[in-house]
Amino acid sequence: MAAITMNHIVKQYGDGFPAVNDISIDVADGEFMILVGPSGCGKSTLLRMIVGLEDITSGDMMIGDRRVNDLAPRDRNLAMVFQNYALYPHLTVYENIAFPLRLAKTPEAELDKLVRDASATLELDEHLDRKPGNLSGGQRQRVAMGRAIVRQSDAFLFDEPLSNLDAKLRGQMRTEIARLQKRLGITTVYVTHDQTEAMTLGDRVAVLKRGILQQLATPRELYENPGNLFVAGFIGSPPMNFLPATVKGSTVELPFGSVEIPAERAERAAGRGLLIAGIRPEHFEDASLASDSVRTGSTFSAKVDAVEWLGNETYAYLPFEAPAEVRAQLEQLEKDLDGEGLRTQLVVSLDGSSRIAEGQDAEIWVDGRRIHLFDPSTGENLTVDHEHAGRILGAEVNSGKA
Ligand SMILES: Nc1ncnc2c1ncn2[C@@H]1O[C@H](COP(=O)(O)OP(=O)(O)OP(=O)(O)O)[C@@H](O)[C@H]1O
Ligand SMILES: [Mg+2]
């Protein structure tokens, strides 16, 4: 096993396009690192540079204390698990797992032990004599992982391994990969565009946008302290709401009314003019249900456009007006996130017992402690707690207008 260190890695393809633009990430020995971001942000390119399937334009790629830029893939001792698993259809599961050992001319007894150990770990014992074509997607995935395990590689690299599976199996496999990774303690880099996978699997998550690292932090840090609008909009489902806002003293003026926020947050955003406020759907509640124990927070009244009752929770949709300056930034953000286009409406997640109905003027409570404030020109989160936000890139390259 080994740490993987990426130092100022750049990849320019033949046409000059910087697919990966000066990315530095350190993956600790045994760590589960996620690379996440929308399509085309450079995730696969970065992964392929780690494995050696793509030349590195500049920067240093280190595995352990070896610089591997000029090493062939087979000399890097890494195991890549591809999306389509690349299993040999005419070989049994046993022989598929044994394949790299046969290539390396491993003695039969040792080979057999390694294959059987891997198969036990992966719960494939009863399938060893079967052919991959007769297996489920999840079983095939495990065979591919078995092949990686027997090679005793320094690290596992996954590129969207679950994207071919249906939702239920994807959930199962996610749990399985997480469990195996913990058990094997093997350094892992995992590429996905799915923020749920990123949140549930990663020890840390690197969020990429157009070849640039936006933030590198634990899932909790990303969620609670997103460094900029892009990360805030990308992490979380349903996504964070964005509204025009101005700060006066320790009060934020929102389209629906004013909300008290903690003084230190207000101070960091003071004297800035028009801002973008970010509030997650779950930080609202039906005012009649908001717990008495929650003293901070404010209530406001808003017209309810639509309601979706899910049993355990209720989504309510509250439209609002936004000035052109804020709209422009939010439209750009929607494009960056591959979104469905801008809709200026607040989505709030209320307790399932809420009786709020369509067409009503509803009393809504909001938790003022959780409101983020973003600079509308750079996208920088002004309220972020830098001590708990991991690594955030400078605001100049994070501008949504770039
Ligand atoms: N062989 C290539 N030649 C030129 N440009 C390329 C090549 N491969 C990828 N690119 C470009 O590099 C950028 C990053 O591509 P990459 O495949 O790394 O994205 P990704 O984040 O993995 O996206 P996805 O989620 O769609 O797989 C894209 O803009 C892509 O068009
Ligand atoms: Mg890709």
Distance CA 96, CA 326 (A): 55
Task: With H, G, I as helix, E, B as strand and everything else as coil, classify residue 340.
Answer: coil
Give every CB contact of residue 107 below 8 A, 6+ residues apart in sequence: none
Whole-number average pLDDT of the chain: 89
The larger pLDDT score, comparing residue 162 to residue 368, is at: 368
**Atom 4, ligand 1: residue with shortest CA distance:** 13
The reported pLDDT for the residue numbered 268 is: 87
Q: How confident is the model at residue 10 (pLDDT cuts 50, 70, 90)?
A: very high
Q: How confident is the model at residue 141 (pLDDT cuts 50, 70, 90)?
A: confident
**Atom 26, ligand 1: residue with shortest CA distance:** 39
> From the alpha carbon of 13, which atom of ligand 1 is closest?
4
Q: Name the residue of 10, 13, 191, 234 whose CB sits within 8 Å of the most ligand 1 atoms, as the mutation to test its pocket.
A: 13
The larger pLDDT score, comparing residue 295 to residue 360, is at: 360
How confident is the model over 174-200, as a mean pLDDT? Answer: 89
Angle between helices 108-121 and 93-103 (to 10 degrees): 130
Q: Which residues line ligand 1 (CB under 6 A)?
A: 13, 15, 17, 19, 37, 39-45, 193
DSSP 26-85: EEPTT-EEEEE-STTSSHHHHHHHHHTSS--SEEEEEETTEE-TTS-GGGS-EEEE-TTT
> From the alpha carbon of 15, which atom of ligand 1 is closest?
4
CA dihedral 63, 67, 73, 74 (to 10 degrees): -80
Ligand nearest to the CA of 42: 1
**Atom 25, ligand 1: residue with shortest CA distance:** 39
How confident is the model over 340-367, as a mean pLDDT? Answer: 90
**pLDDT, tens only, 241-288:** 999 999 999 999 999 889 999 998 888 888 888 999 999 999 999 998
CATH topology agreement for domains 4-222 and 227-383: no
Domain edges within the chain: 4-222, 227-383
Interstrand relation of 32-36 and 284-286 (parallel, antiparallel or unpaired): unpaired
Q: Which two tokens stand for residue 289?
A: 């249900």
By C-alpha distance, which of 88, 86, 68, 90 is closest to 77?
Answer: 68
Q: How confident is the model at residue 398 (pLDDT cuts 50, 70, 90)?
A: very low
> From the alpha carbon of 46, which atom of ligand 1 is closest?
18
Q: What is the CA(163)–ligand 1 centre distance, in A?
A: 17
By C-alpha distance, which of 145, 158, 153 is closest to 190?
Answer: 158
How confident is the model over 158-165, as a mean pLDDT? Answer: 82
By C-alpha distance, which of 26, 286, 215 is closest to 223?
Answer: 215
Distance CA 155, CA 345 (A): 44
The C-alpha angle 205, 208, 210, rounded to 5 degrees, equals 175
The reported pLDDT for the residue numbered 122 is: 83
Residue 137 has pLDDT above 50, yes or no: yes
| CATH architecture of the domain covering 227-383 | Beta Barrel (2.40)
**pLDDT, tens only, 64-102:** 999 999 999 989 999 887 766 678 999 999 999 999 999
**247 close to 59: Cβ distance less than 8 angstroms:** no
Query: Could you tell me how many residues make up the chain?
Result: 402
Distance CA 9, CA 6 (A): 6
The reported pLDDT for the residue numbered 396 is: 39
Residue 169 has pLDDT above 60, yes or no: yes
Cα atoms in the Cβ-side hemisphere of radius 13 Å centred on 96: 27
Residue 400 has pLDDT above 60, yes or no: no
Q: Name the residue of 9, 21, 44, 191 whose CB sits within 8 Å of the most ligand 1 atoms, as the mutation to test its pocket.
A: 44
Residue 138 has pLDDT above 80, yes or no: no
The reported pLDDT for the residue numbered 348 is: 96
Peptide bond into 238 cis (omega under 30): yes
By C-alpha distance, which of 113, 93, 398, 370 is closest to 228?
Answer: 398
Residue 377 has pLDDT above 60, yes or no: yes
> From the alpha carbon of 193, which atom of ligand 1 is closest?
25
The reported pLDDT for the residue numbered 394 is: 46
By C-alpha distance, which of 64, 86, 92 is closest to 153?
Answer: 64
Residue 340 has pLDDT above 80, yes or no: no
Q: How confident is the model at residue 295 (pLDDT cuts 50, 70, 90)?
A: low
Burial of 257: CB neighbours in 10 Å, binned 0-12, 13-18, 19+: middle
Q: What is the CA(81)–ligand 1 centre distance, in A?
A: 18
Ligand nearest to the CA of 20: 1
**pLDDT, tens only, 29-44:** 999 999 999 999 999 9
Distance CA 88, CA 93 (A): 9
Give the type of residue at 359: G
The reported pLDDT for the residue numbered 173 is: 79
Tell me phi and psi for residue 244, to 5 degrees: -65, 145
CA pseudo-torsion sign 96, 97, 102, 107: negative
> From the alpha carbon of 43, which atom of ligand 1 is closest?
21
Q: What is the CA(38)–ligand 2 centre distance, in A?
A: 9
How confident is the model over 317-346, as a mean pLDDT? Answer: 83
Q: Name the residue of 20, 45, 208, 338 whose CB sits within 8 Å of the most ligand 1 atoms, as the mutation to test its pocket.
A: 45
> From the alpha carbon of 42, which atom of ligand 1 is closest?
18
**236 close to 196: Cβ distance less than 8 angstroms:** no
Longest dimension (CA), the chain: 76
Distance CA 12, CA 20 (A): 7
Ligand nearest to the CA of 48: 1
Burial of 329: CB neighbours in 10 Å, binned 0-12, 13-18, 19+: buried
| CATH architecture of the domain covering 4-222 | 3-Layer(aba) Sandwich (3.40)
Q: What is the CA(18)–ligand 1 centre distance, in A?
A: 10
Q: What is the DSSP letter of 167?
A: H
Ligand nearest to the CA of 193: 1
Residue 28 has pLDDT above 50, yes or no: yes
Ligand nearest to the CA of 38: 1
The reported pLDDT for the residue numbered 395 is: 39
By C-alpha distance, which of 316, 312, 315 is closest to 359?
Answer: 316
**Atom 11, ligand 1: residue with shortest CA distance:** 19
Q: How far are the Cα atoms of 100, 159, 197, 201, 206 from residue 31, in angstroms, in the given order? A: 25, 16, 16, 11, 13
The reported pLDDT for the residue numbered 16 is: 85
